[in-house]
Chain A
Amino acid sequence: MPRVDADIDVKHPLQAVVLADSFGHALKPLTCNVAKVLLPLAGCPMLEYSLEWLATQGVEECVVVACSCSESVERYLKSRDGRIGGGEGRGGMITQCVSGTACVSAGEALRLIEQRRVIRGDFVLVSGDVVTNVDLSDALRTHRERRKKEKLAIMTVLLRETGADVREARYGENNLTVAMDSETQRIVHYEEHHGSASRTPATSLDASLFGEVENIRVRTNLMDCHIDICAPEFLMLFTDNFDYQHIRRDFIVGTLNERELGNTLYAYEISKDAYAARVRNLRSYDAVSRDILNRWSYPYVPDTRVVPAHNPETYIHQWGNNYLSPTCSVHETAKIGRRCLIGAGSSVGAGSSVVHSVIGKNVVIGNNVKIEGAYVFDGARIGDDASVTSSILQDGVVLHAYACVSPGCVLASGVVIGSGFTVKPHSRVALDAQPAIEEEDYDSDDSVSSTDMNFASLEHVRDKVKGEHSAEEIENALKKARVRTDVDSSAIWNPSSVGCGGAGYAWVPRDEQWFRNIAPTPPRELHDYSYESAEEASKRGYVQKTIDTSMMDDLESEGDEDTKREGVFQREVTETFLRCVKQGYAQENAVVELQGLKMAENRTFADIARYVLMTIVGLTLPAHAKTSKENIKLYPEATPASTPELLKRLRARLKEWAPLLSRFLRSEDDQVEALLTLEEFCSEEDVFKGMGGAVCVPSFAKILHMLYDMDVISEESVLAWAEEKAEADEMDKKFLKLAQPFVDWLEQSSEEESSSDD
């Protein structure tokens, strides 16, 4: 469909894009075989809340982008359409499903939408896991009026005012600081912090902003609703900046940083009576469920039968915000506490108590069972005298008598817990083995403990075979276990994770902070929020590493092709950097230059930084054959006679550029990678052939020391590098041996430090 020229004022139907995937793995293993948005939330698939809300807001066309498990979403939408007859939805909303199985981030999904050319005018962008009852009409009007006056006001972000404690303790969201023009609500700064709530995170605002905007209001009591009203240009920007992955972290922050492009973002604060929250992790799943049962999301509450829009379940509201299906049977002696929902066909046995819990359809709960704060999905069976606390039991989970599920557990579909077994707090159990890291998406939250994972999923099999079998046999056993999940394969399930007669693999417990978990929070403690940032960094670092190792493998096996490509990239970086040096660019401008290169080559900053570092080291040596003519002048004429002279030259360069390097080489992984590159440089391998790096070999330890002094390389990285190298063969240990005194010194000083700490 041809894009309508934006200058012509055409009345477009109101469109919406629903991202039916959050591109995370916070809810694994629940989301192994079913899309996250189809998980039931207070008795109704999550997606229904946003679809129904959009229909109420007068949206005429709705595009649902399904990524992981897209078939299940497609199937669901089809059956949903089927119930209302044809593609034309009730209330005039047409729902269209775009499946982008290959998309692993919101950015890619949005690029896919742009490619399909389905969006013709300003549209509503909402995450499929949002529950809200906001009246959008005012926000839409404000957005449209603003767009008429200001073409480049491409996005209106809906924000909800909540106390910081509510945001963190209840929804497990990060700190958010938004600075905006107090009159026009234009956002000038958007920053998600990963600091602890007790320590107000520092925010630095660009001083030039104060010249532009008269009154800047910095707000920390806002929560992002993940509902945006966007102009079609929004999608184009995603296509232009193909490295944008996240809407918030990349797009909003990126747009605010590139103010010179003139694109502006505006905030819209929703009314205090309105409710909006997103299910991001287990904690917010719990919180949003409770909010729905407490009717904050009215009219999207079970007894109004608004959702799902087609053949809704009937629930009868009772005192204490209990919602009971008329067809459920609760024994007279059973106690139903506050805030419970019990679905159709479920039964609760004598003497059982159910408090603060959501029970799905056709769940059988035996006698004297204690359930508190739990989410039990359809068809689960809970035996007599079992107990479940603050956990999620997915469809068809079976708990045998006297089984006990401790707080924070997640039991995926079909898991069976043996009689009398106690599941440890915060465990995750699924019938599928935890996927090996290769199968994980780029954006996975799980990739943190990647290396341990493979071991863990195999661990119980190993227990069984007691290490007497070869890896191949273990693999076969695992395969068999996977294929025959429906058959009683108790021979393979480990009784220490699911009990006798149980079924399921224990997944590695997430190194999860309290605020992500479904279990109730210990009241008001000081916590370290650095989890996510660390996770983020290591995630990036991890991806970085896989690219590199695979490249090295290729280099070894396939030969020149990749070396050549890498060489070209290396030269590009060198050229760019030397141009900056020659023309005496300020560091900020150099960053812009290199950023451009990064985008053009689709590489990471760490890649660039490694080669910049090598160029800097190379600048202490005379020009080599590959140097282009205009740059020859930058190089010294003679080889440095001694180590001190080399170091002197290096120090002069590093003084200027160290901040840039340390900015690009953030994580330990990146720094280790840089050290490995330095090794390559000194031994004149691959792309560094003929650059005379060998001259630096005797000074290797000193260079290392200087990089450490200049804060380019951290102590941890050096030690990590040394550790990695310690296992290498003798040939590879050449540089480690050279650097050994320095490494020893570092180790010693760190030990001293720790001992003095004690």
Chain B
Amino acid sequence: MPPSPAVARAVDDLAQDLRRGRYDAVQARALAKRVAETLIATVATASSEASLDDIVRATREVGGALAVVKREHFLVGNVARRILRVIRDEGARAAADRANANAAGDGTTRTPEAMSKKLKGDVIDTAHEVTEEMEAAASHVAAQSGDFVTSGAVVMTTPSAGAGTGLTEAFLRDAMKKRGGEGFGVIVAEGAPRCDGHAMARSLAERGAKDVSVICDSAVYATMPNVKLCVLSAVGVLADGTALTRSGAYNIALAAKAHSVPVIVLAGSYVISPKSRDEDGFDRAVGLGSPATALGYGEKGADPDAVVINPALEYVPPELISVFVTDHGAHCPGFIKVLLDEMYSPLDVKLLDG
């Protein structure tokens, strides 16, 4: 069943926007919302004769096509899986209803069209609920700050991927609300070459944090003995508990391990992917950008032909992570698999056939 032209256009536009990097520097929930809307539109425009299987297939196709556009955005595939889960659940419920109705023997046999319509309506409603839930994920994560940030603690962090108020900042601000501006100290690793750690530290200080320091990334190890907790945020989590984070986070996680400092990784549940790193393409998903942020063109007499590797992201292995804090609660890396089974249907781990 080919998608309607309007949906095809919307999918096309979204794919091109992903390629252009429009969602590289904005908050994840904006992208999650757009993907969900595109998929809901796919369901909504399915023909009235479409069976449950047809709708599932169409959604898988669209979701799968979008998921491979830019692997860094794990959440694209995950949102598709969440929506698929909703469709499958609603389908199962509708089937159960039908069976019950037949068993009860009330003669009101409904036409397939009406059934399909009801199914679609239910799916769309539930999908909207899921979207709202995803939008609220960040605040749910931030709200758990009280469990981790204790009074008098010194927290080391690094800016989250994406612009604006990232997850880490929201988390620390919430902690400030609970513990007060003087309650704990914050050390921000600047996150070279982009150095948005500076802006983050400033933003925290302006909002009342009394003890904020910025350190350069190379000073992370030296500072670590004073630190009680490391807070990182992930743009993606793989099934084995590997986190895809802003480059610079691995450095912190290693230093924390050496000093036995706990590392918590913040992530919305929708970025947790059932994929593993050795699957096609995921090991290369490190957001390799322009060298310009690291070294200006011809700057300091550098040859513009020099190969400058400037990845935006890196993988932090699960053994360095103490706890993931998601909107579903706090879990150790080994528990991610259980979480995945709760969230997605095992049939949808692979979205594209073949």
Contacts and interface: CB of A to CB of B under 8 A. Distances in A.
B291 interface: yes
B4 interface: no
Contacts of A56: 20, 22
B158 to A, nearest CB: 21
A594 to B, nearest CB: 45
Contacts of A320: 307
Contacts of A290: 304-305
Interface in B283-332: 284, 288-293, 296-298, 304-308, 310
Contact of B13 (A90, A298, A338): A90
A626 to B, nearest CB: 63
Interface in B1-33: 5, 9, 12-13, 16-17, 19-22
B298 A166 contact: yes
Contacts of B305: 290, 294, 339
A316 B280 CA distance: 11
Contacts of B12: 84, 90
A170 interface: yes
A275 interface: yes
Interface in A232-272: 272
Contacts of A90: 9, 12-13, 16
Contacts of B13: 90-91
A598 B13 CA distance: 53
Interface residues of A, number: 37
Interface string B43-77: 00000000000000000000000000110000000
A163 interface: yes
A185 interface: no
B20 A298 contact: no
B39 to A, nearest CB: 19
Given A90-B12, A90-B13, A305-B19, A295 B297 contact: no
A279 to B, nearest CB: 16
Given A170-B304, A317-B284, A338-B307, A275 B16 contact: no
A306 interface: yes
Contact of A294 (B16, B291, B293): B291
Contact of B290 (A163, A273, A312): A273
Interface string A292-324: 001111110001111001001000110011000
Nearest to A167: B298
Contact of A272 (B19, B22, B296, B306): B296
B290 A296 contact: yes
A316 B296 CA distance: 25
Contacts of B5: 85
A605 to B, nearest CB: 40
B288 A295 contact: yes
B307 A163 contact: no
A291 B306 CA distance: 10
B335 to A, nearest CB: 34
B292 A294 contact: no
B2 to A, nearest CB: 13
Given A85-B5, A275-B297, A317 B288 contact: yes
Contacts of B284: 316-317
Nearest to A303: B288
B15 to A, nearest CB: 9
A298 B290 contact: yes
Contact of B308 (A52, A274, A294, A297): A294
Interface in A693-734: none
A290 B306 CA distance: 10
A534 B38 CA distance: 60
Contacts of B290: 133, 273, 275, 295-298
A203 interface: no
A546 interface: no
Contacts of B298: 162-163, 165-166, 170
A166 B304 contact: yes
A52 B70 CA distance: 18
A740 B290 CA distance: 68
A295 B291 contact: yes
A726 B244 CA distance: 82
A294 B304 contact: yes
Contacts of B70: 304
Nearest to B307: A321
Contacts of A321: 307
Interface in A618-659: none
A272 B293 CA distance: 9
A168 B315 CA distance: 41
A320 B309 CA distance: 9
Interface string A5-16: 000000000000
A306 B292 contact: no
B252 to A, nearest CB: 25
A477 to B, nearest CB: 46
Contact of A166 (B9, B69, B289, B297): B297
A85 B3 CA distance: 14
A177 B293 CA distance: 27
B16 A162 contact: no
A304 B16 CA distance: 10
A299 B70 CA distance: 12
Contacts of A272: 292, 296
A339 B309 CA distance: 12
Contacts of B306: 294
B307 A299 contact: no
Nearest to B68: A314
A162 B297 CA distance: 8
A120 B9 CA distance: 28
> 8 shortest A-B CB distances, which residue pairs?
A298-B290, A273-B292, A166-B298, A299-B21, A306-B19, A298-B289, A321-B307, A295-B290
Interface of B: 5, 9, 12-13, 16-17, 19-22, 69-70, 284, 288-293, 296-298, 304-308, 310
Interface of A: 52, 56, 84-85, 90-91, 133, 162-163, 165-166, 170, 272-275, 287, 290-291, 294-299, 303-306, 309, 312, 316-317, 320-321, 338-339
Given A272-B296, A275-B292, A294-B304, 14 more contacts: A90-B16, A91-B16, A162-B297, A273-B293, A275-B297, A287-B304, A291-B304, A294-B307, A295-B291, A296-B291, A296-B304, A297-B290, A298-B290, A306-B16
22 contacts: A85-B5, A91-B13, A91-B17, A133-B290, A163-B298, A166-B297, A275-B290, A290-B305, A294-B304, A295-B289, A295-B291, A295-B310, A296-B291, A297-B290, A298-B289, A299-B19, A299-B21, A305-B19, A306-B19, A312-B19, A317-B288, A339-B305
